[in-house]
């Protein structure tokens, strides 16, 4: 899974299905990158994840805890209604996991703001 760096924030996402082996590899890679890149924030977009089980939910909680111990704030963005229903049905509370409706709102929580749109035909130097 690609992990992009935007300043001091790492952005990544979970794919459709995440098996146990992939979840562990993702956790290892992301915690390594938090340290190597000195990230202060991490956005994990799960909008493509349609199914979640207790292992993946626990992995997200543990990853959030590890990131906080490494000095980074984690936002999980884009949780779909079927995923939330499954978590509730399984009785799983994502303790300590901050969530956002979508990636844009998650980035805003991490201090990123959307750039103002330029009027058509305006020179790029018009915005400072």
**Hey, how many other C-beta atoms are within 10 angstroms of the C-beta on 43?**
26
User: With left for phi above 0 and alpha for psi between -120 and 50, is residue 92 left, alpha or beta?
Assistant: beta
CB burial of residue 40 (10 Å; 0-12, 13-18, 19+): middle
pLDDT at 126: 47
Tens-level pLDDT at each residue, the chain (128 residues): 789 999 999 999 887 677 778 888 889 999 999 999 999 999 999 999 888 888 888 888 899 999 999 999 999 999 999 999 998 998 888 888 899 999 999 999 999 866 666 666 656 554 44
SS3 state of residue 70: coil
The pLDDT value given to residue 115: 65
Phi, psi of 70 (to 5 degrees): -90, 0
- Three-state DSSP class for 13? strand
Tokens 């979640």 belong to residue = 52
Tokens of 6: 């935007």
**Contact between 120 and 86 (Cβ < 8 Å):** no
pLDDT of residue 41: 95
Q: Which helix (H) or strand (E) holds 12?
A: strand 9-13
Q: What residues are paired with 12 via a beta bridge?
A: 3, 44
């Amino acid at each position: 899974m690609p992990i992009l760096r935007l300043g001091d924030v790492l952005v990544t996402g979970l794919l459709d299905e995440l098996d146990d082996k992939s979840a562990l590899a993702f956790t290892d890679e992301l915690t390594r990158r938090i340290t190597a890149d000195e990230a202060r924030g991490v956005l994990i977009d799960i909008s493509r994840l349609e199914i979640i089980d207790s292992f993946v939910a626990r992995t997200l909680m543990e990853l959030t805890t590890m990131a906080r111990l490494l000095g980074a704030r984690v936002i999980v963005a884009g949780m779909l209604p079927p995923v939330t229903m499954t978590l509730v049905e399984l009785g799983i509370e994502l303790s300590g996991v901050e969530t956002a409706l979508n990636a844009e709102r998650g980035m805003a929580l991490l201090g990123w703001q959307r750039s103002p749109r330029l009027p058509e035909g305006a020179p790029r130097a018009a915005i400072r």
